[in-house]
């Protein structure tokens, strides 16, 4: 049974009045939704409120959910819209961190702990890995909202292009374009650092 099938079974149980089934869906996706919202909004209290709002809206809308898309892409779309509505109500764009301690509520859910950045744990390579991770994180945070959301859903959440298109309510071609532009922007920020690494003799 696939994850989508399991979710659909839980959704159908909720539709029959089983509130425990919805609690299971909340437990399964709460951290992912918080992580997604944290890429758009920075205040932890606001992230928690928006996440809660997304689940409340999902619960109220579940009687009409027919399973045309996977539950989690449907839920991601609700969460993205809740975050956008919050930012619009505040009259501001998402804030960004430029300091090296920038983290989301999960702490370890950014690129900075990626052990694959270096296979050789010398002090120099560890430092370079951290600099690369910090540069990537800053580059992601500085992306326009639509590019950032697309690349986060792809690279961090692991969604397919089709699922991202459903979550963001746009054509797959637009998703591919956004992810390509996001990767290009990140690569541009990394280029000076990687060129330094290539030419530097430790």
Section 60-81 average pLDDT: 92
Q: Which of 79-88, 105-114, 189-198 has the lowest mean pLDDT?
A: 105-114
pLDDT at residue 8, as a whole number:
93
Domains of the chain: 1-95 (1.10.1740.10), 99-202 (1.10.10.10)
Selected residue with higher pLDDT from 156 and 196: 156
Q: Would the pLDDT of 181 be above 70?
A: yes
Residue 121, Cβ density class (10 Å: 0-12 exposed, 13-18 middle, ≥19 buried): exposed
| Among 133, 141, 142, 143, CA closest to 178 | 143
Percent of the chain with pLDDT over 90: 49
Q: Would the pLDDT of 28 be above 90?
A: yes
Q: Would the pLDDT of 97 be above 60?
A: no
Chain Cα centroid distance, residue 125: 28
Section 170-198 average pLDDT: 84
| Among 49, 26, 36, 43, CA closest to 80 | 36
CA distance 40 to 84: 8
Per-residue pLDDT band at 134 (split at 50, 70, 90): confident
pTM of the model: 0.64
Number of H helices, E strands in the chain: 8, 0
Q: Would the pLDDT of 187 be above 50?
A: yes
pLDDT at residue 103, as a whole number:
38
Residue 91, Cβ density class (10 Å: 0-12 exposed, 13-18 middle, ≥19 buried): exposed
Q: Would the pLDDT of 198 be above 90?
A: no
Section 86-112 average pLDDT: 49
């Amino acid at each position: 049974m696939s994850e989508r099938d399991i979710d659909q079974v839980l959704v159908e149980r909720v539709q029959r009045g089983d509130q425990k089934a919805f609690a299971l869906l909340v437990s399964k996706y709460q951290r992912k939704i918080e992580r997604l919202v944290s890429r758009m909004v920075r205040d932890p209290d606001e992230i928690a409120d928006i996440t809660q709002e997304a689940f409340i809206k999902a619960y109220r809308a579940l009687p009409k959910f027919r399973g045309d898309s996977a539950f989690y892409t449907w839920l991601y779309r609700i969460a993205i819209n809740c975050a956008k509505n919050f930012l619009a109500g505040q009259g501001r764009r998402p804030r960004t961190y430029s300091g090296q301690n920038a983290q989301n509520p999960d702490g370890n859910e950014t690129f900075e702990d990626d052990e694959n950045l270096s296979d050789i744990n010398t002090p120099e390579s560890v430092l370079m890995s951290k600099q690369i991770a910090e540069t990537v994180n800053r580059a992601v945070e500085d992306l326009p909202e639509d590019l950032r959301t697309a690349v986060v859903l792809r690279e961090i959440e692991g969604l397919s292009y089709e699922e991202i298109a459903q979550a963001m309510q746009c054509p797959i071609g637009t998703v591919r374009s956004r992810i390509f532009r996001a990767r290009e922007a990140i690569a541009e920020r990394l280029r000076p650092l990687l060129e330094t690494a290539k030419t530097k003799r430790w």
